[in-house]
Amino acid sequence: MRFLVLSDVHANATALEAALAAAQGRWERAVCLGDLVGYGPDPNEVLDRLRALDVAMIRGNHDKAASGDPSAEDLNPIAFLAAQWTRKQLRPENREFIEQLPRGPLRVGELTLVHGSYQDEDEYVFSPPQALGGLVSSPTNVTFFGHTHIQGGFSYRDDDMEVIQLRVPAGAGFAALRIEPGTRYLLNPGSIGQPRDSDPRAAFAIADREHGVIEFWRVPYDILAVQQRMVNADLPAPLITRLAFGR
């Protein structure tokens, strides 16, 4: 089974379409690690598209905030403004949809999905100590997480942890990681809609469990078109400029 692994789409329909076009014909089952909405200008378009693809999804903190969940962690003022804007835009059926999204961990075949860490959906996993719990506890040898918007992750074998850093050269499409038997992996596909690893291209992964290969993809998209829609929607300026820098 080949899985298309999406995360942190953040209501960016142009980036999502570019990713889906690049991945076409290369996967059988799609999953998403949360933050479908928040920040971007296209919440209904993104939800309509993902729902039509029958994507297995868990919620992220921005989905919680946009659905009015009182347990949503305190967002910074700019993210809070974007969450309020998103909530107003959502059609009733899409608001209901994000309200009933399950929290991770979610098992889908040979993959485990979480938004933040394995233990806490709101925790950021930046460092090996933060990754250890998920690497040890997850029921599958490959677990995908989101939330940091940084493509890459961690591997663990015989009490030895390694940080996995990937660079996809311009025009290359993807960088491949081979899954070694006996090693456990906690991997982030990167963010579709608001990358933060200094590469503004949309990020996602394709996990081929049969052949033991994970492809980490980067795909350029029309950032200016998204920025223009954000200007028209009067979304906060810092959210608009950061897309061009991937920060």
Provide the angle, in degrees to the nearest 10, between the axes of the packed helices 223-232 and 13-23.
150
Residue nearest to Zn ion (CB): 35
* Cα distances (Å, whole numbers) of residue 175 to 3, 21, 119, 167: 16, 18, 29, 7
Nearer to Zn ion (CB atom), residue 4 or residue 179: 4
Closest distance of CB 125 from Zn ion, Å: 13
Q: Helix, strand, or coil here: 211?
A: coil
* Cα distances (Å, whole numbers) of residue 181 to 108, 162, 209, 227: 20, 15, 12, 44
Closest distance of CB 60 from Zn ion, Å: 6
Nearer to Zn ion (CB atom), residue 35 or residue 197: 35
Closest distance of CB 111 from Zn ion, Å: 19
Q: What angle do CA 146, 152, 158 make, to 5 degrees?
A: 105
Part of the chain binding Zn ion (CB under 5 A), chosen from 28-36, 135-143, 207-215, 222-230 = 28-36
Are 103 and 120 in contact by the 8 Å Cβ rule? The answer is: no
- Taking CB under 5 A as the rule, does residue 8 contact Zn ion? yes
Number of residues located near Zn ion, criterion CB under 5 A: 2
Nearest by Cα to 93 from 59, 67, 58: 67
| Residue from 17, 35, 121, 215 binding Zn ion (CB under 5 A) | 35
Backbone angles phi, psi at 22, to 5 degrees: -65, -30
Part of the chain binding Zn ion (CB under 5 A), chosen from 33-41, 63-71, 120-128, 225-233 = 33-41
Closest distance of CB 35 from Zn ion, Å: 3
Reading the block at residue 41, the tokens are 């200008």
Nearer to Zn ion (CB atom), residue 35 or residue 215: 35
Nearer to Zn ion (CB atom), residue 74 or residue 158: 74
Nearer to Zn ion (CB atom), residue 8 or residue 123: 8
Which residues are near Zn ion by CB under 5 A?
A: 8, 35
